[in-house]
């Protein structure tokens, strides 16, 4: 009897020291490395590369990092233009698989290509949307992005020309580029 009591006591102490057999292991000693940061957008081309990374990774923090607070989206029809706050709200839903307009949820977004068509040019003072940004630049890009709809065999495809507008700001003594706006001339299906 004493032997049984002693064995029971040893087993009890062993279980107490190692934790319950049915409880999940706590990975307290596991260190999760921080997400890599975007390279500083010290050129307009690096800014566009960062924009593409933000989209492919569906990372709203990266997306905020590339945007100017003066951002404007200019739609093809001119009737659906919007500003920075609206754009961030839209992308938060898109990147986090939250239903947007019409209850649509995108479960995957793939940038197929973003290819510059011409070289960067200074924004002209007579540009009706961005003419007040004398230090800014614009460049047309041929864009191809797929948006897969969750739960359906349906992919929205955006194809065509988007004019990217950029501006700069000094950050810690370094000139950093930000996305000032986009003029959308794409077609979607």
* Core vs surface per residue 75-93: b (16+ CB within 10 A) or e: eeeeeeeeebeebbeebeb
Q: Where are the domains of the chain?
A: 41-188
CA 173 to chain centre: 26
As beta bridge partners, residue 155 has 148
As beta bridge partners, residue 174 has 171
CA distance 148 to 158: 11
Q: Is the pLDDT of residue 65 over 80?
A: yes
Residue 186: what are its φ and ψ, rounded to 5°? -90, 170
Beta-sheet pairing, 137-149 with 121-122: antiparallel
The residue with greater pLDDT, 93 or 78, is 93
Query: Which residues, 6 or more positions from 104, have their beta carbon under 8 angstroms from its beta carbon?
Result: 149
pLDDT digits (tens, 9 = 90+) for 131-186: 999 889 999 999 999 999 998 889 989 999 999 999 999 999 999 999 999 999 88
Query: Which residues, 6 or more positions from 28, have their beta carbon under 8 angstroms from its beta carbon?
Result: none
Q: Is the Cβ–Cβ distance between 63 and 89 less than 8 Å? A: no
CATH 3.10.450.50 is held by the domain 41-188: yes
pLDDT digits (tens, 9 = 90+) for 108-146: 999 999 999 999 999 999 999 999 998 899 999 999 999
- Alpha-carbon separation of residue 83 from 3, 39, 69, 102, 167 (angstroms): 78, 25, 8, 21, 15
pTM: 0.79
pLDDT digits (tens, 9 = 90+) for 32-52: 566 678 999 999 999 999 999
């Amino acid at each position: 009897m004493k032997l049984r009591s002693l064995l029971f006591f040893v087993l009890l102490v062993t279980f107490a020291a190692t934790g319950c057999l049915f409880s999940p292991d706590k990975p307290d000693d596991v260190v999760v490395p921080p997400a890599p940061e975007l390279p500083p957008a010290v050129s307009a081309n690096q800014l566009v590369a960062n924009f593409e990374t933000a989209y492919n990774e569906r990372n709203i923090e990266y997306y905020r990092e590339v945007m100017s607070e003066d951002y404007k989206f200019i739609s093809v029809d001119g009737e659906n233009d919007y500003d920075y706050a609206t754009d961030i709200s839209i992308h938060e839903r898109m990147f986090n698989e939250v239903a947007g307009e019409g209850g649509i949820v995108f479960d995957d977004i793939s940038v197929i290509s973003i290819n510059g068509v011409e070289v960067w040019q200074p924004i002209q003072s007579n540009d009706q949307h961005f003419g007040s940004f004398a230090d800014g630049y614009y460049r047309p890009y041929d864009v191809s992005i797929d948006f897969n709809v969750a739960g359906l065999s349906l992919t929205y495809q955006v194809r065509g020309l988007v004019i990217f507008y950029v501006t700069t700001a000094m950050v810690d003594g370094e000139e950093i580029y930000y996305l000032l706006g986009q003029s959308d001339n794409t077609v979607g299906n």
